[in-house]
Amino acid sequence: MSTYILDWIAPQYCVLCGLRIHGQQRAVSGPLCKSCANNLPPSPLLRCRFCGTELFGEDEICYTCRNRTHSYEEVFPLFRYRDAPATLIRSYKMSQRKSLASFWANLVYEVLQQRWPEYVVVPVPPRPEKIKTREWDQVEAIATRLEKRGVPVVRPLVRMASEEQKSLGREGRKANASKGYEYSPEYHFDAPQLVVLFDDVYTTGATAEACSRALLTNGTKKVAVLVLAMD
pLDDT tens profile 50-69: 988 888 876 789 988 888 88
Write the pLDDT tens digit of every residue in 79-130: 999 999 999 999 999 999 998 999 999 999 999 999 999 999 999 999 888 8
pLDDT of residue 1: 47
Tell me: do 49 and 76 sit in the same domain.
Answer: yes
Cα–Cα distance for residue pair 176/181, rounded to 1 Å: 9
User: Per-residue pLDDT averaged across 8-27, rounded?
Assistant: 79
Which are the contacts of 120, defined by CB distance < 8 A and separation ≥ 6?
152, 153, 154, 192, 193, 194, 195, 196
What 3-state class would DSSP assign to 141?
helix
* Residue 12 and residue 73 in one domain: no
- When pLDDT is averaged across residues 3-21 and rounded to a whole number, the result is 76
Task: Specify whether the CB–CB gap between 33 and 44 falls below 8 A.
Answer: no
Residues 74 and 127 in one domain: yes
Looking at residue 189, what DSSP letter applies?
Answer: S
Work out the average pLDDT over 193-205. Answer: 95
**Among 83-92, 157-166, 192-201, the least confident range:** 157-166
At 186, is the pLDDT very low, low, confident or very high (cuts 50, 70, 90)? Answer: very high
CATH number of the domain at 96, please: 3.40.50
Say yes or no: 59 and 137 in one domain. Answer: yes
Q: Are residues 77 and 8 in the same domain?
A: no
What span, in angstroms and rounded, lies between the C-alpha atoms of 89 and 100?
Answer: 9
Rounded Cα–Cα distance for residues 162 and 23 (Å): 46
Using left for φ > 0, alpha for ψ between -120 and 50, and beta otherwise, residue 193 falls in alpha
What confidence tier does 165 reach under pLDDT thresholds 50, 70, 90? Answer: very low
Which range marks the domain in which residue 17 is found?
1-39
Q: What is the DSSP string of 41-107?
A: PPPPSSB-TTT-PBPSS-SSS-HHHHTS--SSSEEEEEEESSHHHHHHHHHHHTS--GGGHHHHHHH
Residues 216 and 201 grouped into a single domain: yes
Report the percentage of the chain scoring pLDDT > 70: 85
Q: Do 133 and 169 reside in the same domain of the chain?
A: yes
Strand 181-183 relative to strand 157-159, pairing: antiparallel
Dihedral sign from CA coordinates of 67, 68, 69, 72:
negative
Q: How many domains does the chain have?
A: 2
Say if residue 103 is in the same domain as residue 14: no
Whether 90 and 193 map to the same domain: the answer is yes
> Do 222 and 194 fall into the same domain?
yes
- Same domain? For 34 and 122 the reply is no
pTM for the whole thing? 0.88
Shared-domain flag, residues 63 and 101: yes
Say what the pLDDT of residue 4 is: 53
